[in-house]
């Protein structure tokens, strides 16, 4: 017999039935005993229990006794919940903390600020709330080819899904005990933690997160490939519109510097290619083209290789070439300024063409990470032609104590990118 059956039997005194020989009056209506007795003969789930409640309210036996039936049902339910809470508290107190470090292996305590204790599979796990938010966001923004495929949220230590009760505990801890307001966690709560409903209601927002994750968290090789595609598309558009704003990046240009400079442009490019809404894609394409035109106009020689010839003074006070230094031109315009000149007035009017006609300082301000892996960038840039000036080292050894640098010797422009 289940716990619920024992509670029903105790509350309604089902063993004291009018059909028994030793029956004694207990002031409990026989119709209630008959109805409740029908559900204790087999295992009953929570769903079955409330279906029984709904159907019984329409039963002819209790047509004039609905309030009394509700009182008995609530008494049974309250007693059942009390036993459940008692059992949970007992298991929780007896359970051992199996993980007491954050995701960075730093020791944490259950009473520390922003530390939550998750009771999962009869064990306690301590988490920094920021680590949990990252785990949740990573699962909810899972994707394939920029199409959202959210996953269930799992405990990283045993790779088993969290219970829905765990998710509610996490949500209420974030809401009432921290100042964090993670958008996806709150929207997941508003969807009752149903993955299908969450994806259906938030697909456009998820696409934005997926694109941002791609640009800021993808490996260097992947980002470099996309940057190369972006530059090729821009150069193709310039050739088609008969403009001379061609961006050429030398194949030996440092990868980490290129990624850092081009990342905000790459974000616009990915939005223009993979954005969820067509209007956003078209607008992003126009803004990206304007940004790259301004970028090239500011320094048409960006990405080119330069040679600096080193000289030294010999014993006869004459300059001798003693070597060369290879440098790359990385001077570039800032993607956006941090200050918006229209900040105090942009709440007064609406301009539907603002993003299309906006200048460089007020449009799409993005933050660029300072750190990035510097993997090799193998772009398909043509080698310098036969007119390129290249100075070789002389037989004199390089003397760092008495060395001068002459003016730059720059390679000629490369007109196209293969």
pLDDT in tens, 318-335: 787 777 888 888 899 988
**What are the tokens at 232?**
């090729």
Domain boundaries, the chain: 3-94, 115-202, 218-410
Q: Check if the beta carbon of residue 385 is closer than 8 Å to that of residue 255.
A: no
Cβ neighbours, 10 Å, residue 300: 16
User: Strand locations in 33-122, DSSP E?
Assistant: 97-99, 115-120
Average pLDDT over residues 71-92: 92
Q: What single-letter DSSP state applies at residue 107? A: B
Angle between helices 183-190 and 164-177 (to 10 degrees): 130
Average pLDDT over residues 121-139: 95
Overall pTM > 0.95? no
Burial class (CB in 10 A: 0-12, 13-18, 19+), 374: middle
Q: Check if the beta carbon of residue 257 is closer than 8 Å to that of residue 370.
A: no
**The pLDDT of residue 317:** 77
Q: Does the pLDDT value for residue 392 go beyond 50?
A: no
The rounded percent of the chain whose pLDDT value lies above 90 is 49
Report pLDDT digits (tens) over 257-309: 999 999 999 999 999 999 999 999 999 999 999 999 999 999 999 988 888 88
**What are the tokens at 305?**
């290789």
How many Å apart are CA 353 and CA 69, to the nearest integer?
A: 64
Burial class (CB in 10 A: 0-12, 13-18, 19+), 100: middle
Q: What single-letter DSSP state applies at residue 62? A: G
Q: Check if the beta carbon of residue 230 is closer than 8 Å to that of residue 262.
A: yes
Report pLDDT digits (tens) over 44-60: 788 888 888 888 888 88
Q: What confidence category does residue 40 fall into, taking pLDDT thresholds of 50, 70 and 90?
A: confident
How many Å apart are CA 386 and CA 195, to the nearest integer?
A: 61
**The pLDDT of residue 340:** 64
Cβ neighbours, 10 Å, residue 55: 10
Q: What confidence category does residue 18 fall into, taking pLDDT thresholds of 50, 70 and 90?
A: low
Q: Does the pLDDT value for residue 136 go beyond 60?
A: yes
Q: Does the pLDDT value for residue 217 go beyond 60?
A: yes
Residues 6+ apart with CB under 8 A from 94: none
């Amino acid at each position: 017999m289940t716990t619920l059956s024992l509670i029903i039997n105790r509350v309604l005194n089902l063993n004291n039935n009018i059909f028994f020989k030793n029956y004694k009056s207990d002031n409990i209506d026989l119709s209630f005993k008959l109805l409740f007795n029908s559900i204790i003969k087999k295992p009953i789930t929570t769903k079955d229990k409330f279906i029984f409640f709904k159907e019984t309210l329409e039963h002819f036996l209790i047509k004039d006794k609905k309030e009394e039936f509700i009182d008995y049902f609530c008494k049974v339910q309250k007693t059942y919940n009390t036993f459940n809470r008692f059992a949970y508290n007992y298991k929780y107190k007896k359970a051992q903390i199996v993980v007491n470090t954050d995701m960075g292996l730093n020791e944490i305590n259950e009473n520390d600020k922003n530390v939550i204790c998750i009771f999962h599979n009869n064990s306690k796990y301590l988490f920094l709330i920021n680590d949990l938010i990252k785990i949740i966001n990573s699962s909810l923004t899972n994707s394939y080819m920029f199409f959202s495929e959210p996953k269930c949220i799992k405990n990283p230590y045993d790779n088993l899904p969290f219970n829905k009760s765990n998710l509610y505990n996490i949500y209420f801890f974030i809401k009432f005990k921290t100042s964090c307001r993670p958008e996806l966690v709150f929207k997941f709560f508003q969807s009752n933690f149903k993955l299908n409903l969450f994806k259906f209601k938030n697909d456009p927002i998820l696409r934005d997160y997926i694109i941002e994750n791609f640009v800021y968290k993808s490996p260097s090789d992947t980002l470099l490939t996309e940057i190369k595609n972006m530059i090729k598309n821009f150069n193709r558009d310039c050739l088609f519109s008969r403009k001379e704003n061609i961006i050429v990046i030398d194949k030996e240009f440092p990868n980490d510097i290129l990624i850092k400079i081009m990342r905000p442009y790459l974000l616009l490019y990915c939005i223009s290619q993979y954005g969820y809404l067509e209007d956003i894609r078209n607008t992003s394409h126009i803004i990206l083209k304007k940004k790259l035109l301004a970028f090239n106009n500011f320094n048409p020689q960006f990405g080119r290789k330069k040679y600096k010839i080193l000289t030294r003074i010999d014993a006869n006070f004459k300059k001798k070439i003693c070597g060369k230094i290879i440098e790359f031109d990385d001077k570039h315009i800032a993607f956006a300024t941090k200050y918006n000149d229209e900040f105090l007035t942009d709440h007064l009017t609406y301009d539907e063409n603002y993003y299309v006609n906006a200048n460089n300082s007020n449009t799409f301000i993005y933050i660029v990470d300072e750190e990035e892996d510097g993997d090799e960038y193998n772009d398909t840039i043509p080698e310098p032609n036969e007119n390129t000036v290249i100075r070789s080292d002389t037989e004199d050894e390089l003397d760092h104590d008495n060395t001068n640098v002459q003016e730059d010797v720059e390679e000629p422009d490369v007109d196209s990118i293969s």
